[in-house]
């Protein structure tokens, strides 16, 4: 496994691999790798000849009051995960390398970013879209792997690739969960033991909604109210949103009459958790 920090170098390596007929998969991450990231790498290994993992804590996607410096960093363990999963190349750039020469260009995705996390994290998706576009230009892979855990992010990236004719296939991967259902996240380390127990209520609320929808409930308001109540009963929280949205447009729905997603964002202590599950058809 090779670890590269230089944009020119990694691009040359990936271009050479592609020219020799090899299929290259890219897994973009912010490090602090866990089993969720590992599942993306394994999915890429299964379909591609060579896998590139990028590890970059992108400062431009942290909103006001969010501290990129506090984001967990576990570089040695991350490199061990990459080595153990058979990754060929790790791209590990510095902030200066990624945002050289006072870079001022950024990418705004309309529509999809107006709801859900958008209003709660101003500038977040612009930062994500910008850094992912940069990564796609730096690592010209055949495919890039993203988790459904960050469902709005996945939809934003799919739209961006479509709108900008970026020649890369986006491969969505299912959410990996802890035994109690909590979606794995690098931020879960911020939870105290009691908050960690409480955090199980998020996936329970989602699973309850999936079951109710499966038994024919189509009233979104009722499903949202039930999920909200379940989360609030588990302990002190600040709910940013519990929403049911069209699975493609991310527009809010009132009746479950097409493929939908229940999405939620909840603050427990110092930790902001997001999760989602598909509902209905």
Question: Per-residue DSSP letters for 257-274?
Answer: -S-EEEEEEEEETTEEEE
Residues whose CB falls within 8 Å of the CB of residue 214, separated by 6 or more in sequence, listed in order: none
Query: Does the protein bind ligand AMP through residue 98 (CB under 6 A)?
Result: no
Minimum CB distance to ligand AMP, residue 114 (Å) = 20
Residue in 40, 82, 171, 202 binding ligand AMP, rule: CB under 6 A: 40
Q: How many residues bind ligand AMP (CB under 6 A)?
A: 17
The smaller minimum CB distance to ligand AMP, of residues 184 and 242, is found at 184
Whether 34 sits among the annotated catalytic residues: the reply is: no
Of the listed pieces 64-72, 177-185, 227-235, 248-256, which binds ligand AMP according to CB under 6 A? 177-185
Q: List C-alpha distances in Å: 271 to 72, 80, 267.
A: 12, 26, 6
Of 34, 37, 124, 230, the active-site residue reads 37
> Closer to ligand AMP at the Cβ: 39 or 201?
39
Binding mask 1-30 for ligand AMP (x = CB under 6 A): ----------------------------xx
Report the distance separating Cα 279 and Cα 39, nearest Å: 23
C-alpha to C-alpha distance for 220 and 222, rounded to whole angstroms = 5
User: Can you list the positions of beta strands (E) in the chain?
Assistant: 2-4, 24-29, 50-55, 89-91, 143-147, 169-173, 238-246, 260-268, 271-279
User: Which of these ranges, 11-19, 114-122, 147-155, 237-245, lies near ligand AMP under the rule CB under 6 A?
Assistant: 147-155
Residue 176 engages ligand AMP in binding (rule: CB under 6 A): yes
* Residue 149 binds to ligand AMP (criterion: CB under 6 A): yes
Q: Rounded to a whole number, what is the largest CA-CA distance in the chain?
A: 57
Site track 183-212 with ligand AMP (rule: CB under 6 A), x = hit? xxxx--------------------------
| Cα–Cα dist 26/135, whole Å | 9
Q: How far is it, in rounded angstroms, from Cα 155 to Cα 170?
A: 10
Does residue 146 touch ligand AMP according to CB under 6 A? Answer: yes
Supply the residues annotated as catalytic.
Answer: 37
**Footprint on this chain of ligand AMP (rule: CB under 6 A):** 29-30, 36-37, 39-40, 146-147, 149-150, 173, 175-176, 183-186
């Amino acid at each position: 496994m090779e670890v590269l920090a230089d944009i020119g170098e990694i691009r040359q390596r990936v271009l050479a691999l592609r020219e020799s007929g090899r299929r290259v998969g890219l897994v973009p991450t912010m490090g602090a790798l866990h089993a969720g990231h590992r599942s993306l790498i394994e999915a890429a290994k299964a379909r591609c000849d060579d896998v590139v993992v990028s590890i970059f804590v992108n400062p431009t996607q942290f909103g006001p009051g969010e501290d990129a410096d506090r984001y967990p960093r576990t570089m040695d363990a991350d490199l061990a995960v990459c080595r153990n999963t058979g990754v060929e190349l790790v791209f590990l750039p510095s902030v200066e390398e990624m945002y050289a020469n006072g870079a001022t260009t950024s990418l705004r995705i309309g529509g999809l970013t107006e709801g859900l996390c958008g209003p709660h994290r101003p500038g977040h998706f612009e930062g994500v879209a910008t850094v992912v576009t940069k990564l796609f230009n730096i690592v010209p892979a055949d495919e890039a792997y993203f988790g459904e855990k960050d469902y709005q992010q996945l939809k934003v990236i799919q739209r961006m690739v479509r709108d900008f004719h970026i020649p890369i296939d986006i491969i969505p991967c299912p959410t990996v969960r802890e035994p109690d259902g909590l979606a794995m996240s690098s931020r879960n380390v911020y939870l105290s033991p009691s908050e960690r127990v409480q955090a199980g209520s998020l996936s329970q609320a989602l699973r309850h909604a999936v079951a109710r929808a499966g038994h024919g409930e189509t009233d979104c308001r009722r499903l949202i109210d039930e999920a909200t109540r379940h989360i609030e009963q588990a302990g002190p929280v600040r709910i940013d949103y519990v929403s049911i949205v069209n699975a493609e447009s991310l527009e809010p729905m009132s009746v479950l009459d097409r493929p939908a997603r229940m999405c939620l964002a909840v603050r427990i202590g110092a930790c902001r958790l997001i999760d989602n599950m598909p509902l209905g058809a």
